[in-house]
Amino acid sequence: VLLGFSDLPNLQGLLFGVLSIIYIIILTGNSLIIILTRLDPTLQKPMYFFLANFSSLEICSVSVTLPRILVNLWTQDRSISVLDCAAQMCFFLILGATECFLLAVMAYDRCVAICGPLHCPLVMTPKVCLQLAVGSWVSGIPVQTGQTRWIFSLHFCHLNEINHFFCDIPPILKLACGDTFAHAPSVCVAVLLVAAVPFILILASYSKIVCTILRLPTARRAKAFSTYSSHLLVVLLFFGSATITYLRPKSRHSAGTDRLLSLFYTVVTPTFNPMIDSLQNKGVIAALRKLLLKV
């Protein structure tokens, strides 16, 4: 049983309405980016190819959790089968890993574009871009499938109430019997593989970008910074909220705080990502204007 927002009985209708609007905004905004990058010839570049992948990922990620939340709020039936719960967690973790790798790939693409613009067409060929995108989507599958299998192989203490609005690792582990500390190394390995390594690659890419930009004339620095500042903000929002959620000391975990943080990075962040990563992009804005003029 997903308790979700059952402790707010008077706000069920309001929550359903607000979350429905947010879901429509996420689907519309990200779908529009995908359409623009497919139709506009000026957007046939690696940066926009990865941006379209990122928008597709945002749609998939939010669709793993938000529709279930909306159904629970509408029907007030919060039950979920063990298989459905395991599937939801597995897809959520896989798509989270995909986001880590894809953000690293996007940082590398922008590093190549800024640090070696003449070599960019030779390095970021369509074949390489496709390989990097596919690699980002599939790299987390074996790790996160194994982690989900391990979590649901634990012995649970005849408890079936999950104090959360979707099946996530912390609330599920709270239902397990005994001390789960012995299994912490496997969780740490998974985090290192799918989060720490991409984050280090992102830091390396942006360090090189900053060093390159600082060598440019002052007049060109602002334009160069603007090409990657929006992506950096998306990276900080994603890794910041995920780090606070999963790497906080166990003593500081509380159901209310966990739900609030999870709501932030599963619902709020995907809502703003299209605006952050696209509306500051002159190419996307120009393509949107052309599309609206045609309509």
What's 56's domain CATH number? 1.20.1070.10
Query: Is 25 among the domain residues?
Result: yes
Q: Band of the pLDDT at 133, cuts 50, 70, 90? A: very high
Q: What is the CB-side half-sphere exposure of residue 201 using CA atoms within 13 A?
A: 18
- Please tell me the predicted confidence (pLDDT) of residue 85: 92
Query: Is 179 among the domain residues?
Result: yes
Query: Is 4 among the domain residues?
Result: no
Query: Is 115 among the domain residues?
Result: yes
- Mean pLDDT, rounded, for 92-121: 90
Query: Is 250 among the domain residues?
Result: yes
**Distance of alpha carbon 165 from alpha carbon 182, whole angstroms:** 27
Which residues span the domain enclosing 153?
9-293
CA distances from 282 to 9, 80, 116 (A): 45, 44, 21
- Please tell me the predicted confidence (pLDDT) of residue 59: 94
Q: Band of the pLDDT at 98, cuts 50, 70, 90? A: very high
Residue 83 pLDDT > 80, yes or no? yes
Number of domains in the chain: 1
- Please tell me the predicted confidence (pLDDT) of residue 288: 77
Query: Is 174 among the domain residues?
Result: yes
Query: Is 273 among the domain residues?
Result: yes
**Distance of alpha carbon 105 from alpha carbon 59, whole angstroms:** 19
Q: Band of the pLDDT at 95, cuts 50, 70, 90? A: very high
Query: Is 3 among the domain residues?
Result: no
Each residue's pLDDT tens digit, 212-226: 888 877 777 776 676
- Please tell me the predicted confidence (pLDDT) of residue 67: 92
pTM of the model: 0.89
